[in-house]
Amino acid sequence: MNMVSNRYVLDANVFLEYIYARSLNKKAKQILQDAILEQIQILVPSLALDEITEVLCSNLDNLAEVQTHLRYIEKLANQAVLHIVVPNSEVRMKAIELARTGNQKIGYPELTDCLYHALAILNDAIFITNDQKHICKVKQFGHIQELSRYNDYRT
């Protein structure tokens, strides 16, 4: 499947790759850079901010550093680099549909992950995540790609 798009929904874990300089830090930076240069559009469900805040709260003792990261994300939103979307009932119903597709063998997708994915499906976007388990459970719906594969298809 050729996944060329200019609209992406980013999982909170993409931002955490960037913040914590994890192994896919360069891919996460590239996505943000592409959005800053207006080559792509980034959508994030509002819950991404809560998930990021929760991880920062649990893992960073330095409150000034936490505030710096949160303000940077806020700045990206204010500059329309990130488009923060509060999921409406259509997105929520699609997410419920996705969450109910698993089985006992592979497990059921997390509703939170499905909210991101549903936002991507309904906006003809690609959900970028680092969550291999979620990808395995819902890849049949398309509109999903591993962070490590970002830019593999772009020119």
The confidence score (pLDDT) of residue 103 equals 80
Query: From CA 65, how far away is CA 33, in angstroms rounded?
Result: 21
Q: Which CATH number applies to 7-149: 3.40.309.10, 3.40.50.1010, 3.40.50.450, 2.40.110.20? A: 3.40.50.1010
> Tens of pLDDT along 4-19?
579 999 999 999 999 9
Query: From CA 29, how far away is CA 107, in angstroms rounded?
Result: 32
The confidence score (pLDDT) of residue 155 equals 42
Per-residue confidence band for 97, with pLDDT thresholds at 50, 70 and 90: very high
Q: What percent of the chain has pLDDT over 70?
A: 95
